Amino acid sequence: MKNRIDSSRQKTPWDNNSKNNVLQEFIKCKYKDNYRIKHPKLSETNEAELLNSIEIKECRYCDSEHIRKRGFTKNNVQRYYCNDCKRYFSPTTGTIFEGHKISITEWIEYLLDIFNYGSTNLTSKVNKNSMNTSTYWLQKVFILLEKYRENLVFKGTVYLDEMFYSVIKKDIDTKDGKKLRGISHNKYCIGICYDKRNIIAIVECFGKPTTEITYNNFYKSNRTWFTINS
């Protein structure tokens, strides 16, 4: 039995048919064009131009300013060398796009879909990827995010804010059959921390957090992301 999950979305029912009618041929060609637009080759996206326009002043590994340009990657992206930690890096080092084989355009499209709560099934269809690819990408996003926060320490002026999102419908608590008003425990509190370079968002609690909750979330419990001047 054919595994539908692994099916490529590149194919149409008329690919190997030599007797397509005009409409079938038209749909086939337009679908293939669309597929190519969704999956551009790295060399066709002007990505190197975009990445090389980013001004880099510090080493992506140790923040040293003793860096210099040294050669290009195979995709024509500027490479840098750090005189202090003796490592090479590029504008994508330490970002979600590091070591990417698909274009940034494709990644952005995919990320916009999942950050807008698109299901794996939907993003697979929209981006014309097999379900396996979409599932793999989602796992990759989580692995990257986990790695991103591993050694994260915020520096300088740190901004901290909160956003609230409703819990899913079945978890909504009511009082006398009515929804609770304002920032109740029916809302997740997402704390967002930013220092003009790094950003992290974590689920703090349900409802409005106290200073203690925020402090414990961002400073204590294995998450010493910044130092506090007391």
**Residue 30: exposed, middle, or buried by beta-carbon count in 10 A (0-12, 13-18, 19+)?**
exposed
Residues 152-181 within binding reach of Zn ion (CB under 5 A): none
Task: Tell me if 82 contacts Zn ion by CB under 5 A.
Answer: yes
Q: How far is the CB of 230 from Zn ion (least distance, A)?
A: 31
Query: What mask of x and - would describe binding to Zn ion in positions 85 to 124, judged by CB under 5 A?
Result: x---------------------------------------
As a whole number of angstroms, the distance between CA 42 and CA 19 comes to 35
Q: How far apart are CA 134 and CA 70, in angstroms?
A: 35
Give the nearer residue to Zn ion in terms of CB position, either 85 or 180: 85
* Cα gap 89→174, rounded to integer Å: 53
Task: Figure out which of the listed residues 43, 64, 76, 166 binds Zn ion, where binding follows CB under 5 A.
Answer: 64
Read out DSSP for 13-47?
TTTT-TT--HHHHHHHHHHHHHHHHHS--GGGTTH
The CA R_g of the chain, rounded to the nearest whole Å, is 23
Cβ atoms of 73 and 79 closer than 8 Å: yes
Q: How far apart are the first and last CA of the chain?
A: 66
Stretch that binds Zn ion, among 62-70, 95-103, 108-116, 217-225 (CB under 5 A): 62-70
Selected from 14, 61, 194, 206, the binder of Zn ion by CB under 5 A is 61
Check residue 167 and report its DSSP letter.
P
59 is an interface residue for Zn ion by CB under 5 A: yes
> Whole-number minimum distance, CB 65 to Zn ion, in Å?
10
Q: Which is nearer to Zn ion, 151 or 211 (by Cβ)?
A: 151
Residue number, 184 or 198, with CB nearest to Zn ion: 198
**Structure-token pair, residue 161:** 């804010």
Does the protein bind Zn ion through residue 139 (CB under 5 A)? no
Query: Least CB distance from residue 61 to Zn ion, whole Å?
Result: 4
Closer CB to Zn ion, 36 or 86, in the complex: 86
Q: How far is the CB of 91 from Zn ion (least distance, A)?
A: 15
Binding footprint of Zn ion on the chain (CB under 5 A): 59, 61-62, 64, 82, 84-85
